[in-house]
Amino acid sequence: MTKRDIAADAAKLRRPVAADPLGPNSEIGRKLKQYYDELVSDEVPDRFASLLAQLESAESARKKD
């Protein structure tokens, strides 16, 4: 067995399993996805929506000038 064969065998062992592409980071990935999904599904607070509407109207008024 050559060094190249040993290196190739070691590379095969390090490859992640197809069912779990993140390998040891799977739990972190799952938690981040769960957090993102919760964040996206949250409703925008009324005050924030109001501020966005004010900003849009100010920008459109400025473009007209």
> For 5-33, how does the pLDDT look when each residue is reduced to its tens digit (9 = 90+)?
777 776 666 655 556 676 778 888 889 99
> What's the pLDDT band for 64 if we cut at 50, 70, 90?
confident
Q: What is the pLDDT of residue 35?
A: 93
> What's the pLDDT band for 57 if we cut at 50, 70, 90?
very high
Which residues touch 56 (CB under 8 Å, ≥6 apart)?
A: none
Average predicted confidence (pLDDT) for the chain: 81
Domain residue extents for the chain: 3-64
Helix then strand then coil, in percent of the chain rounded to 5, is 75, 0, 25
Assess contact for 7 and 1: CB atoms under 8 A: no
Which residues touch 22 (CB under 8 Å, ≥6 apart)?
A: 16, 28, 29
Assess contact for 20 and 26: CB atoms under 8 A: yes
